[in-house]
Amino acid sequence: MGAATSLQRQPTVSRWSARLWYWQRLSAMLLAVCVVGHIAITIYAVRGGLSGAEILARTRGSIGFALFYGVFVLACAVHVPIGMMRIAQEWAHWRGAGVRLAALVLALLLAWLGLRAVYAVVAT
């Protein structure tokens, strides 16, 4: 009976697929909002004739900018690796722990590089 209980606790492949599907859809919703916000910010900056130095001067120390782009980066770090994993599974027939590990490494790399870029733009 103990073995059956431990097996019930571990997610099955279909549960993992459903969870990944959920997280990819949730991150897509966040990305849609972030893309619209990013385009609005870009249009504002370009139409205002702001230079790169002026933009950086406005972003330094900005908590709002850091939060907005931090969420954007984290949504990308969730969304992209799931999609890339699905592509690898469907096109390259890459299955098992290797493809999941590659997706995890990609997620961590995207999060690290993206958050580092946000910090570089916001840090005073």
In eight-state DSSP terms, residue 10 is: S
> Which pLDDT belongs to residue 48?
84
Q: How many domains does the chain have?
A: 1
Q: What is the pLDDT of residue 8?
A: 60
64 domain-assigned? yes
Q: pLDDT tens digits, the chain, 124 residues: what are they?
A: 555 555 566 667 788 899 999 999 999 999 999 999 999 999 998 898 988 899 989 999 999 999 999 999 999 999 999 999 999 999 999 999 999 999 999 999 999 999 999 999 999 8
Q: Note the pLDDT of residue 3.
A: 55
Instruction: Write the DSSP symbol of residue 96.
Output: S
Instruction: Report the CATH number that the domain containing residue 63 is assigned in CATH.
Output: 1.20.1300
Q: What are phi and psi of 121, to 5 degrees?
A: -80, -30
The pLDDT value given to residue 115: 98
The whole domain housing 75 covers: 17-122
Asked if residue 32 is part of any domain, the answer here is yes
> Using CA atoms in the order 92, 98, 116, 83, what is the torsion angle rounded to 10 degrees?
40
CB-based contact 99:89 (threshold 8 Å): yes
6 within domain boundaries: no
3 belongs to a structural domain: no
Residues near 111 by Cβ (< 8 Å), separated by ≥ 6? 73, 74, 77
